[in-house]
Amino acid sequence: MQLNGLTTNRAARAAIILAVLALAMLPAAPASAHPIGNGAGGFAAGFLHPLSGLDHLLAMVSVGIWGVELGAPALWLLPIAFPLVMAVGGALGFLGVLLPGGELLVALSVLVLGACVVYGRRVPLAVALAVVGVFAFAHGHAHGTELPEAADPLAFTIGFVGATGLLHVTGIGIGLLGRFPNGALAIRACGVLIALTGCYFVYSHAGV
């Protein structure tokens, strides 16, 4: 019994530490599209690209955590729907289709998805898919506008989508901590910190 309590406390601390470390990265990772550089961009660059922006990283992890909180079928539908819709947004961004307020939507995604993690209660699947879909489109569009700079747009996209999937899986792993007695509290703490980070991103883009 004492061993279970020790494991639970360590799991809770691990989740909180992860969120705190994410906040510590704020000065080095502003909420914006992340230029890939002239002539750069293959599979490796695409794979590393989502990890270079805290906005994308936190949103993807939040989708995984929220999916666990909602349970099946959202647990697997949300991480599947996000990359698919993101690809559509990316294609339109690549083609030069404008999305007014797209970067603000990306910033809002961190705030809203963090708040969803804090709320932690079931919502209709259609609502969850709609929320994820809107933000997936915005994230995809933001990064799709960068693809013309890539040396190999297809390889870059495959790497980017693959890394996004792994971030979802990471979020699912964190969400599973909620099954421990004190894990739910740790998950809520993560959600609060993610939402606060989203507030910072929104504040930055609102130009207040």
For the stretch 152-194, pLDDT in tens is 778 888 888 888 999 999 999 999 988 877 888 889 999 999 9
What mean pLDDT do residues 128-148 have? 89
Considering only CA atoms, which of 88, 66, 85, 87 is closest in space to residue 75?
66
Q: Is the pLDDT of residue 34 over 70?
A: no
What mean pLDDT do residues 66-88 have? 92
What mean pLDDT do residues 2-29 have? 46
The confidence score (pLDDT) of residue 39 equals: 44
The confidence score (pLDDT) of residue 177 equals: 84
The confidence score (pLDDT) of residue 41 equals: 63
Phi-psi map region of 41: left, alpha, beta (phi>0 left; psi -120 to 50 alpha): left
The confidence score (pLDDT) of residue 133 equals: 96
Please say whether the beta carbons of 175 and 64 come within 8 A: yes
Distance between CA atoms of 63 and 59, rounded to whole angstroms?
6
By residue range, what is the domain housing residue 118?
A: 2-31+40-206
Total number of domains in the chain: 1
What mean pLDDT do residues 18-24 have? 45
Tell me the range of 21-25, 36-40, 204-208 where mean pLDDT is highest.
204-208
Neighbours of 165 (CB within 10 A): 17
Residue 149: pLDDT band (50, 70, 90) is low
> Pseudo-torsion of CA 18, 204, 87, 83, nearest 10°?
20
The confidence score (pLDDT) of residue 33 equals: 45
Kindly state the tokens that stand for 178: 């909620």
Distance between CA atoms of 88 and 196, rounded to whole angstroms?
29
Q: What is the DSSP letter of 143?
A: H
Q: What is the DSSP letter of 123?
A: -
Q: Is the pLDDT of residue 30 over 50?
A: no
**What is the rounded average pLDDT for all residues in the chain?**
80
For 58-136, strand residue ranges (E) read none
